[in-house]
Amino acid sequence: KVTDIHFEVLRIDEISAPSRRLRIAVVNMVDTNGDARRYFFQGSAGGQTTFCMLAATFIQPHLSLPLLDGLVLLYNGKILPALDHINLAGILTPRLVEHVAKRAIHGTKG
């Protein structure tokens, strides 16, 4: 099934840090038909896997300097609702999704 899910980068904020400027993005997943919740965020394992894959795609944590230092992912303009016993709200950092990118690129569990 083809879905009508798309993503909007709402803003990228830069924060001065001692070593370099940090970049935090706010991205909105637009899902007017509810397809993401129905097909990709079902259950805690599916929801967490989808969430981490999306975050790894935007952050690119495998790069020596990731594209983003933090990501806030919204769902239809709101904080992602809690799924079962996992919390998908807050700022994701490269370290939190690095393992997903490594597994996808290298086919390892590391």
Q: Are the beta carbons of 52 and 101 closer than 8 angstroms?
A: no
Which pLDDT value is given to residue 107? Answer: 76
pLDDT of residue 69: 95
Residue-level pLDDT at 47: 76
Is it the case that residue 83 has pLDDT exceeding 80?
no
| Residue 18 DSSP one-character state | S
pTM across the whole model: 0.81
Residue 76: per-residue pLDDT:
94
**Which DSSP string do the residues of 29-49 spell out, in sequence order?**
EE-TT-HIIIIIS-HHHHHHH
Q: How much of the chain is in helix, strand and coil states, percent to nearest 5?
A: 35, 30, 40
Tell me the percentage of the chain whose pLDDT exceeds 70: 88
The confidence score (pLDDT) of residue 108 equals 65
- DSSP conformation class of 76: T
Produce one character per residue of 74-96: b if its CB has 16 or more CB atoms within 10 Å, e if not. bbeeeebeebeeeebeeebbbeb
Check if the beta carbon of residue 7 is closer than 8 Å to that of residue 27.
yes
Between 86 and 64, residue with greater pLDDT: 64
Most confident of 12-16, 50-54, 91-95: 12-16
Kindly tell me the number of DSSP H helices and DSSP E strands found in the chain.
3, 4
